Amino acid sequence: MTNIDLTNIEHIRAILKTHGAYAKKALGQNFLVDREALDKIIGAGNIQINDQILEIGPGLGVLTHEILKKTPNLTSLEMDPQMIKVVGANMANLHTPEELSNWQLIHTDALKYDIDASHLKPNYKILANIPYFITSPLLRHFLKDQYLKNSKTIPSIIVFLIQKEVAEKITDKRKESVIGLNIKVFGEPEIISMVPANSFHPAPKVDSAILRITVHDTPKVDLTKIDINRFFELIERGFKSPRKKLRNNLPEALLNSAGIDPDLRAEKLTIEDWERLAQTKSDQTK
C-alpha cells in the first residue's frame, strides 16, 4: 500500500497523469479535496460495520476509501470506464486484498442500475458526490420509483453532496417544490453542511451542500386511501405554472371540494393538502 492522499491536489494531478485521465465536465466530475466536508459526509451516513453501502460515481475514490475504513460492504457504481481503472488502482494502493474482498466496483449508469436484481437489501445506505444535473433523476430512481413499484429494496439513509441551491429548495419549509414534495413524502431531508466551490478540483461555478435524507418506515401519505400515482400527477399539474394561482393549474371544483383556496400558489400547499386533493372524486380532476 502507498501513502497517496486523495484530497491532495498535487497527488490528484499525479494520479490523473499516470492514467492519462482527466475530469470530464460532461459527466460532472469534480473531485472533493476538502477533508472536513469528507468527514461530514461519512458522519452523516452513520456507517456501522455491518451496513451495506451504495456509492454512485466514485471518481478517484476519495469517498470510497473512507467508506471502506468503516465497512467492507460497499458497492460503487461508475459509468466512466477511465475512472473504473483509476479508482480500482487507487483502492488497491490504499487497501489490502482482504479489505477489498466485499467491495464491488460496477461499470454502469446508476440511473439504469437494476436495484431489485442487485444484492442490495432493505435499509442499505447511499453515499455519493453526484453530478448536479442528475440529482432529481437519481432520487427518483432510488427512492420514489422503488416505492411506487412496491419494492422492498428501499434505502434507510441517502447522503448526497449536491448543488447548494437544490439542497435549499428541497429542504425549504416555507415554499414547497416538486422535488421537495417528492422527497418529503418518503423521507426527512436536512442540510448537514455547506461546501464551498473551492472544496473541489476542478472547482465548479457554484457552492454545494451535504444533504441527508432519513427515509421514513412508511410514506407520509395513506396508500390505502389514495392512488399514489394520481397524488404525484396532481402535484406535477399544480406546479405546471408555479407562479400562477392554483385555479390556473387545477379545476376550481377540485380545489373547493378539498378545502383548498384556489388563489394560493402550489408552493404553499403541504403534503396533507395534496393528499386531500388526491382523495377527491376523480371526475373533478378533468
Q: Which residues contact 18 (CB under 8 A, 6 or more apart)?
A: none
- DSSP β-bridge partners for residue 78: 107
CA distance 286 to 278: 13
| pLDDT score of 6 more than 70 | yes
User: What percent of the chain lies above the pLDDT cut of 70?
Assistant: 97
| Amino acid making up residue 127 | L
Q: What is the pLDDT of residue 283?
A: 45
What pLDDT digit, counting tens, does each position of 147-187 carry?
988 899 999 999 999 999 999 999 999 999 999 999 999 99
What pLDDT digit, counting tens, does each position of 25-42 carry?
888 889 999 999 999 999
Domain 9-215 homologous superfamily, CATH: Vaccinia Virus protein VP39 (3.40.50.150)
Measuring CA to CA, which residue among 127, 95, 110 is closest to residue 4? Answer: 95
Q: What is the pLDDT of residue 2?
A: 67
Query: What kind and span of H or E run contains 70?
Result: helix 62-70
In the CATH scheme, what architecture does the domain 228-285 have? Orthogonal Bundle (1.10)
**Cell numbers placing 57:** 460515481
Decide if 9-215 and 228-285 have a common fold.
Answer: no
| pLDDT score of 108 more than 80 | yes
What pLDDT digit, counting tens, does each position of 211-235 carry?
999 999 999 999 889 999 999 999 9
Cα 238 to the center of its chain, rounded Å: 24
Domain ranges of the chain: 9-215, 228-285
Q: Which residues contact 191 (CB under 8 A, 6 or more apart)?
A: 167, 168, 171, 209, 210, 211
- What is this structure's pTM? 0.94
What pLDDT digit, counting tens, does each position of 32-87 carry?
999 999 999 999 999 999 999 999 999 999 999 999 999 999 999 999 999 999 99
Q: Which residues contact 199 (CB under 8 A, 6 or more apart)?
A: 32, 33, 34, 37, 208
